[in-house]
Amino acid sequence: MKKPGFAALLLAVVMLFSIAGCAKSGGNKDAKDDGTRTITTEPGSIPINDPNDDPELQTESTTAAITTTAAPVTAAPAPQTTTAASGWQNAPANVLYRPAASQFVDQYTAYAYCTDTAVQNYVKMRLGPSKSQFNVTGTQLPNNTPVTVQSVSVNGWTLCYYQGVEGWIRSDFLFGAPVSDAATAAPPAGETVCGGPYLVNVTGEYAGEPLNMRSGPGRENALITTVNNMEIVYVADNTPIQNGWIKVTYGNDTGYVLYKYLEHAGDAGDKPVLYLYPEKETDVDVKLTLAEDIFFSCTYPAYKNGWKVTAAPDGTLTDRADGKQYSCLYWELCGNADYTFDEGFVVKGSDTAAFLEKTLSEIGLSPRERNEFIIYWLPRMQNNAWNLISFQKETYTSVVQLDISPAPDSLLRVFMAYKPMDAPVQIRPQRFDPFNRTGFTAVEWGGVEVE
């Protein structure tokens, strides 16, 4: 057999290298790094930004491992002109937005640090300069992580680079040097606050998210529970603020929350109680509709979207759910209600008991109802020099709408607002229509001290 010549062997080798080269480059030709790199997303690679996405306020912080995919860059990459031209608002939420070249800067090192260390000790990177943009997978940077700053601020966010990953970090989370927890402490320790109900109102970047309650005044303490936004917590009188934290009670739990997320709720109604007197044993449903910005601070029995009781003629109420018996239905309110003093009475503190006995009888309360009213309010009022007193009408019934089914034949709602006074003032005397108890009768009384 004739052996192949040198030229034939050389041609075969060239052809083999050509085929191998095509096979290597042809399958992924679009993935080359030509300075216009984008992040492609596969199913599951980038979590959707849902209400649990930024757990700064509601969960224990955890630090995810960050995989190093490339060495740090030494120059700013070329801009992605298609998204830069239309602005970040029009950029896809799941593709890295890169600003125009004019917005890049000489790179420098900054330290990523979440200033709200009370509830989180890491910083997230996003694909665009907004919380609405998706997270960059696996980028929960522990506080004081050094990152490379690449661009000027866009919408309060800055494009940064960390261990082969690009993403946007809130500009106010970037510092020129490592930050200590003491540098971000909120109100000074030792300041005390007035007691009472406080409304949880989480605002700012994490508006509406639940608030952590911890076993001590600091992020390092164990998580007890979370308090939903717009829920009520209670603070004891003269409670001190400790490094921005304050001790509160929420349900059966007592612990510490961040004070800056609390608002004093104010008292809208103390101890309104409702008595029901049907002519015969009757199943009665009671519902209360509260005005905007008015909340329950306490109810008894528990108000579960209404009360369902069986009422007896002597006023005994039996909860139809568990069979427990009560003499009345009770609630307290917090919030800001505008009570008026266009008419009323100015009463010396020492005369309070006699005044209430006489006036409550004129209004229509029974001896038992008057007695319970007076023993609740007298200790609060008798030591004041004077009390300005006005029994509210529409100003209260518009705050708390009462729905009783079946509807009572007679309904009396008594709500007293009063102001402690150092000296008497002139006011138009208040008059009352006579109240006649006929048929199924419902009687409510309550009150509030107005500052």
User: What is the reported pLDDT for 39?
Assistant: 33
Q: Rounded CA gap, 321 and 309, in Å? A: 8
The string of DSSP letters for 301-312 reads: S--SSSEEEEE-
Q: Rounded CA gap, 151 and 162, in Å? A: 14
If asked whether residues 334 and 237 sit together in one domain, one would say: no
If asked whether residues 301 and 312 sit together in one domain, one would say: yes
Residue 90 pLDDT class (50, 70, 90 cuts): confident
- What's the whole-number mean pLDDT along residues 120-138? 82
Percent of the chain with pLDDT over 70: 75
Residue 267 pLDDT class (50, 70, 90 cuts): low
φ/ψ region of 190 (left if φ > 0, alpha if ψ in -120 to 50, else beta) reads: left
User: What is the reported pLDDT for 269?
Assistant: 63
User: What is the reported pLDDT for 110?
Assistant: 86
Residue 431 pLDDT class (50, 70, 90 cuts): very high
- Range with lowest mean pLDDT among 139-148, 263-272, 291-300, 343-352: 263-272
Residue 191 pLDDT class (50, 70, 90 cuts): low
pLDDT for 184 beyond 80 = no
Domain assignment present for 397: yes
Give the bridge partners for 104, in sequence order: 151
Which of the listed ranges 14-18, 43-47, 432-436 does the model predict with the highest average pLDDT?
A: 432-436
Domain assignment present for 274: yes
pLDDT for 68 beyond 60 = no
- What's the whole-number mean pLDDT along residues 354-364? 97
If asked whether residues 103 and 251 sit together in one domain, one would say: no
If asked whether residues 311 and 236 sit together in one domain, one would say: no
Q: Rounded CA gap, 160 and 167, in Å? A: 6
Q: Rounded CA gap, 234 and 242, in Å? A: 16
The residue from 206, 229, 264 where one domain ends is: 264
For the record, the structure tokens of 209 come out as: 């998210």
Cα–Cα–Cα angle for 134, 44, 94, rounded to 5 degrees: 30
User: What is the reported pLDDT for 20?
Assistant: 43
Q: Rounded CA gap, 381 and 307, in Å? A: 31
Cis preceding-peptide flag for 217 (omega within 30 of 0) = no
- What's the whole-number mean pLDDT along residues 21-45? 32
What would the pLDDT profile of 287-316 be if each residue is shown by its tens digit?
999 988 788 878 999 998 899 999 999 999
Residues 6+ apart with CB under 8 A from 328: 273, 274, 275, 315, 317
pLDDT for 199 beyond 90 = no
- What's the whole-number mean pLDDT along residues 24-53? 31
User: What is the reported pLDDT for 442?
Assistant: 98
The residue from 162, 181, 200 where one domain ends is: 181
pLDDT for 216 beyond 80 = yes
Between 109 and 371, residue with greater pLDDT: 371
Which of the listed ranges 5-9, 155-159, 322-326 does the model predict with the highest average pLDDT?
A: 322-326
What would the pLDDT profile of 285-295 be if each residue is shown by its tens digit?
999 999 887 88
Q: Rounded CA gap, 253 and 62, in Å? A: 24
User: What is the reported pLDDT for 268?
Assistant: 65
DSSP assignment, residue 172?
A: G
Listed residue (399, 289, 298) closest to 339, CA to CA: 399
Q: Rounded CA gap, 120 and 214, in Å? A: 13
pLDDT for 161 beyond 70 = yes
Between 427 and 15, residue with greater pLDDT: 427
In three-state secondary structure terms, 161 is strand
Cis preceding-peptide flag for 43 (omega within 30 of 0) = no
What would the pLDDT profile of 101-128 be if each residue is shown by its tens digit?
877 877 888 888 887 655 567 888 888 8
Domain assignment present for 357: yes
The residue from 136, 163, 181 where one domain ends is: 181
If asked whether residues 218 and 325 sit together in one domain, one would say: no
Between 48 and 201, residue with greater pLDDT: 201
If asked whether residues 171 and 253 sit together in one domain, one would say: no
Give the bridge partners for 211, in sequence order: 227
If asked whether residues 172 and 296 sit together in one domain, one would say: no
Residue 337 pLDDT class (50, 70, 90 cuts): confident
Q: Rounded CA gap, 275 and 404, in Å? A: 11
- What's the whole-number mean pLDDT along residues 54-69? 34
Between 137 and 160, residue with greater pLDDT: 160
If asked whether residues 91 and 234 sit together in one domain, one would say: no
Tally the domains of the chain.
Answer: 3
Domain assignment present for 59: no
User: What is the reported pLDDT for 83?
Assistant: 36
If asked whether residues 271 and 227 sit together in one domain, one would say: no
What would the pLDDT profile of 378-425 be if each residue is shown by its tens digit?
999 999 999 999 999 999 999 999 999 999 999 999 999 999 999 999
pLDDT for 355 beyond 90 = yes
Other CB atoms within 10 A of residue 335 CB:
21
If asked whether residues 147 and 169 sit together in one domain, one would say: yes
Residue 153 pLDDT class (50, 70, 90 cuts): confident
Query: What's the alpha-carbon Rg for the chain, to the nearest Å?
Result: 34
The string of DSSP letters for 341-397 reads: -SEEEEEEGGGHHHHHHHHHHHHT--HHHHHHHHHHHHHHHTTSSEEEEEEESHHHH
Listed in order, strand segments (DSSP E) in 17-131 are 104-112, 122-126
CATH number at residue 248: 2.30.30.40
Q: Rounded CA gap, 255 and 214, in Å? A: 5
pTM higher than 0.85 for the full model?
Answer: no
Give the bridge partners for 142, in sequence order: 122
User: What is the reported pLDDT for 300?
Assistant: 92
Residue 328 pLDDT class (50, 70, 90 cuts): very high
The chain-wide mean pLDDT, for the chain, equals 78
Whether residue 286 contacts residue 305, with contact meaning beta carbons closer than 8 Å, is answered with: no
**Which domain range does residue 433 map to?**
267-443
